[in-house]
Structure formats: structure tokens, C-alpha cells
């Protein structure tokens, strides 16, 4: 059996998330259908993690086992011609038998994109959360800094979690900005990048929902530390909308 | 009667073009419906020009007459809350009675976007024409330079035109590039910007369709001059796909 690993990029707008569900339209279903058409096998893929409905991925990683003898450099093109145009495989390689897209991952980066300004960008409306007013980016940066390190992230986890432990390590959390004009009104894009060894259910979206309240001045940066320590989901802000979120990159031990 | 001028940005993907047609889903229809809901009047708008099905606009300009007394600084927000999320008004101003969005325009700029590389960018797939192989940008630039000036553009005009004359002036035509990685494959974005005093039906798309053949080496740059001189549509290349085209900007005498 060959074990094949792929990098997949998708626009999640049209899907009910990554993971297969009965009678549902998911990214996993589309990839497995394309693999079945290509190889004639019934293949079950494993991803680095699920993404929710509406969430995108620049570099989702999957792996699967196959008896197919298709040369490794043919897989991307062969699959892309069988996939809908909002899902694309950008890399395929053969990996050792023990490689597992979820269990072997050592760190993951998510990006959440916000556009602050009077007008949304119609061409990126499916990729950015539009916030009408400005946000205090320095306050948000300070708030975000309290999350770096190993912590119990219960406050930033959906109550519907099935995780055994809520302890995770955040290696890096930063916000970069970019100014643009839409019409003659200035707007500011915020890119919130968070890298960790793993993420709980809705974790990035709840962190961002809380950060937005800090940016709006409804909370002070130090609240982030207090919320983290409380280990209580009700202390944090709302879950930010799915469409601003993108699974950016997944790293593995070489 | 007030004469109001607006700048409108839209993602044309979901529409059958700008101009109203019977039983059709057009951008003009959506704007006129929103104006009717807002003012209670039946308003007919005039645009700087129509855009085809699937073509986008960053800065389309429209004007219309109204008896409404809504203050000018309220129009954008009031309309945007009544428009679908792929159409947005970014500027509104009151103009003199004689202003006409089409007849008063003195120059227009269109941008055509191409991505050369193995993989398309799924997040911009509705905005860029994807060209698998590389293109010879220098040859394309040379070919494009022959179009600058006043010429009869019959060769680059759909045979379905209703224009009285096919003479137009191109003030500027240039190609800028930007390199990006998709997965670990390099891709090059090409932005073809063409500014003129007016454009014939399908003119930019036929120019681009011909330019792509120059970029592929199927034609030499000098063919552009020969095609222009022939005044024969059959000499030019195919009409490039609509989704790569965007009406960028329309200029008026102050």
C-alpha cells in the first residue's frame, strides 16, 4: 500500500465544512469522489483537522492509502481535472507508512482576515470579515500576546468539544495590517495569524471574536488574561464569523 | 430634479451583465430595484457603458435623476443596505443637470488579469484567467504598443457591434506582473491595463485573446500591427474569457 500526502487549497464558501457528513456537501466528499473516479478504489482520506462550514484552507494537508500505481508527479493534475474549481491539490508526495496527516502534525497556522472601513471589498467579501468602524490594533496585539505559551484554552473552546484536554501551546500570534482605498475611502485589512501545536473546536474564531471587542474598546487588553484564567467559555466574546478564517499552513517533522 | 452620480463596484460573476434585459438578472436591475425601494420612484439609471456577463467593475459610474430629498451623504449606506452583497456603491455626489455617465466620460480604463502557472488561485478564480503555461510578457508588451494612438479598431470589435465608427484612441496600454507561490509552484499574475477614450463591443477581450497568442509564441508582436491594419475581425485572436476583465476607472472632465 502506498501512503500519499497532499496539500489542498479550497474556498470553503460553498461547502458544509471539510468533514464528511451524511447527505452533506463537504470538501472531504468531493476529494474522495475524485479519488474514486481516478483510481477505482474507495479511498478514505485523513486531514490535518476538519474546517467548519465556510472556512477556507490555503494549505490543508491530507493523506490516504492506495494500491494505485499512478506516478507521484501525475496525481495533482489528474485530481484537479476531476475536482470542482473551488478545490485544488497543489502538492502530492509519497510518505512513509506511519505518516498521519493529523497525528504527525507538529504545528498549524490559521489566518483570520478583517477589513475595517466603510465599504467591504466585493471581490474579497467571501474571505474577509467586514468591520464598519476602525479597530485599535495595538490593544488587540497586546491582548493577543497573553495567549502565547502553553495554556488551558477552555474559555476559547466551544462547549461542544470532544477534546480530552484543553491545554494547547501557541507559538506565535501576530497582527499585520495593510491599507487600501475602496472608492475614495481608506480601509485597513487586518491579518491575525496564530500558530500553535493544535487548536480546539472554534478556538481561533472565539479568540478573534474576543479580540474584536478589545479592538472596539469594549474590553481592555488585560481582559484576555483574565478570560484565559477563568477557564469559562461564557467569559469570552462571541465566535467570529467563519468566512474570515483560513487554515494557512500545517507543519510536520521532516 | 436632482442629477446624482455614483461609483459602483461589483463582482459580475452571478449576473447576466450590466444592462437590463427582459426576464434577466442584471446589475442595472438590482440597482434600479434598490433605488425604487429607497425612493419610491421608478428610476432609470445610465452607466458609463455596459459590461458583459461575468465582467466585473471596480469603478463603474452611473447617474440618474430623482425628486428624492435624501441628503447626498446618506445615499451610499442607504443603497448598500438594499443591494446584494456583490454590488456596492462607494461614492455618491450631486452633479450638474447636463452630466451624463456615458456621454460625459472622457477616458476609461479596463484591467484584464491573467495568472500563468500550474495552479489557479482558488480564491481569485472568478477574477483571473488561468493560463497553464508561461507567457512571453516582453513580446506582449511590444504587441500592445502598436495599439496606442488613434486607430480604426474594426479587427478588435465583435461583428455584433452597433457603433457608428470603429475609430477609438488608446492613451495607454501596459502590462504589470506579480510573482506568487501557489503550493510550491511559482505563478505569475499579469495585469493588462488599457486606457482609451472609448471601447468597442468586446474590444478589450479580443485584444487580450490576441495578446495571449503572442505571449504563447503563436504570433509575433508585429502581427498586432498587421491585424489592426487589416480591419478584419477574422484576423485577430479569440475573445478572451469574461471573468478576467474589470472596468477599472472612468474619468470625466472636472
Each as own residue / partner, the long-range contacts of residues A28-36 (CB below 8 Å, 24 or more positions apart, any chain) are: A30/A83, A30/A84, A30/A87, A31/A62, A31/A79, A31/A83, A31/A87, A33/A82, A34/A79, A34/A82, A34/A83, A35/A64, A35/A66, A35/A79
Partner-chain residue, chosen from B9, B122, B127, that has the shortest CB–CB distance to A10: B122
Q: Within 10 A of B252 (CB to CB), how many other CB atoms are there?
A: 15
Restricting to B residues 183-222, those with a Cβ less than 8 Å away from any Cβ of A are: 183-185
Output the pLDDT for position B185: 87
At residue A183, the pLDDT reads: 84
CB contact under 8 A, A90 and B119: yes
Q: Rounded mean pLDDT of B227-252?
A: 97
Determine contact: B56 vs chain A, CB below 8 A.
Answer: yes
SS3 A140: helix
What residues does A131 pair with on adjacent strands? A116
The answer to whether the CB atoms of A120 and B183 lie below 8 A apart is no
Contacts of A65 (CB under 8 A, 6+ apart): A1, A2, A3, A4, A43
Q: Would you call A122 an interface residue with chain B, using a CB distance cutoff of 8 Å?
A: yes
- Which tens digit of pLDDT belongs to each residue from A156-208? 999 888 888 999 999 999 999 999 999 888 999 999 999 999 999 999 999 99
Rounded to an integer, the average pLDDT of B113-125 is 96
Q: Are B56 and B11 in contact (CB under 8 A)?
A: yes
**pLDDT higher than threshold 90 for residue B183:** no
Q: According to the model, what pLDDT value does residue B163 have? A: 85
Cell, residue B170: 488608446
Q: Tell me how far apart the alpha carbons of residues B242 and B182 are, in angstroms, rounded to a whole number.
A: 23
Q: Which residues from chain B sit within 8 angstroms of residue A118, using beta carbons?
A: 76
Cα A22 from Cα A143, distance rounded (Å):
40
- Examine the residue annotation and report whether B52 is marked as an active-site residue of this protein: yes
What's the pLDDT at A185?
Answer: 87
Between A9, A76, A118, which is nearest B122 by CB? Answer: A9
d(CA A103, CA A106): 8
- Nearest C-alpha neighbor of B247 from the set B76, B105, B61: B61
Residue ranges, chain A, pLDDT below 50: none
Contacts for A176 with CB less than 8 Å, ≥ 6 apart: A190, A191, A193
Q: What is the pLDDT of residues B196-228, one digit of tens each?
A: 999 999 999 999 999 999 999 999 999 999 999
d(CA A56, CA A132): 23
What is the average pLDDT score of chain B?
A: 96
Grid cell in block for residue B78: 442607504
Residues of chain B with C-beta less than 8 angstroms from the C-beta of A90: 119, 182-185
Q: Which positions 69-98 of B are in contact with A (Cβ < 8 Å)?
A: 76, 80, 85-88, 90-91
Q: Is the ipTM of this complex over 0.90?
A: yes
Q: Would you tell me how many other CB atoms lie within 10 Å of the CB of residue A136?
A: 14
Please give the pLDDT value at position B186.
93
Interface test with A, best of B92, B120, B122 (most A CBs within 10 A): B122
Using CA atoms, how far residue B242 sits from A6, A42, A59, A153, B183, in Å, is 32, 38, 29, 48, 26
- Chain centroid, CA A129 distance in Å: 14
- The pLDDT of B158-180, averaged and rounded, is 94
Q: Given a cut of 80, is residue B180 above it in pLDDT?
A: yes
Please list the alpha-helical segments (H only) found in chain A.
27-39, 75-80, 137-145, 203-215, 223-230
The fraction of chain B above a pLDDT of 70, given in percent, is 100
Q: Is the C-alpha dihedral spanning B113, B118, B124, B125 positive or negative? A: positive
- The pLDDT score that the predictor gives to residue B118 is 93
Q: Where is pLDDT greater, at A83 or B161?
A: A83
Would you say the pTM of this structure is higher than 0.80? yes
Closest-CA distance, A121 to chain B, in angstroms, reads 8
Contact assessment for residue B58 and residue B245, using Cβ atoms and an 8 Å cutoff: no
Nearest chain B CA: its distance from A69 CA (Å): 23
> Which of chain A's residues have a Cβ under 8 Å away from the Cβ of B88?
119-120, 122, 182
Distance CA(B232)–CA(A72), nearest Å, equals 48
Nearest to A107 by CA among A237, A15, A194: A194
Q: Which of A52, A121, A152, A193 is catalytic?
A: A52
Amino acid at each position: 500500500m502506498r501512503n500519499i500526502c497532499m496539500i489542498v487549497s479550497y474556498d470553503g464558501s460553498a461547502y458544509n465544512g471539510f468533514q464528511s457528513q451524511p447527505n452533506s456537501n463537504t470538501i472531504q466528499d468531493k476529494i474522495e469522489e475524485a479519488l474514486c473516479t481516478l483510481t477505482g478504489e474507495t479511498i478514505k482520506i485523513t486531514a490535518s483537522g476538519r474546517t467548519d462550514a465556510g472556512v477556507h484552507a490555503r494549505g490543508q494537508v491530507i493523506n490516504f492509502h492506495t494500491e494505485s500505481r499512478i506516478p507521484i508527479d501525475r496525481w495533482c493534475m489528474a485530481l484537479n481535472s476531476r475536482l470542482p474549481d473551488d478545490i485544488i491539490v497543489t502538492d502530492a508526495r509519497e510518505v512513509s507508512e506511519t505518516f498521519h496527516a493529523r497525528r504527525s502534525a507538529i504545528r498549524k497556522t490559521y489566518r483570520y482576515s478583517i477589513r475595517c472601513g466603510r465599504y467591504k471589498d466585493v471581490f474579497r467579501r467571501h474571505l474577509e470579515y467586514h468591520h464598519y468602524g476602525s479597530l485599535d490594533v495595538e490593544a488587540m496585539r497586546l491582548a493577543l500576546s497573553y495567549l502565547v505559551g502553553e495554556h488551558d484554552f477552555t474559555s476559547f473552546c466551544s462547549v461542544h468539544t470532544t477534546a480530552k484536554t484543553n491545554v494547547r501551546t501557541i507559538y506565535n500570534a501576530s497582527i499585520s495590517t495593510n491599507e487600501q482605498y475602496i472608492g475614495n475611502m481608506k480601509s485597513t485589512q487586518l491579518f491575525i495569524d496564530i500558530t500553535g501545536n493544535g487548536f480546539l473546536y472554534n478556538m481561533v474564531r472565539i479568540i478573534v471574536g474576543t479580540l474584536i471587542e478589545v479592538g472596539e474598546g469594549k474590553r481592555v487588553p488585560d481582559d484576555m488574561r483574565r478570560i484565559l484564567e477563568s477557564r469559562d467559555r461564557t467569559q469570552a466574546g462571541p465566535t467570529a464569523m467563519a468566512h474570515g478564517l483560513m487554515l494557512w499552513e500545517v507543519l510536520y517533522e521532516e
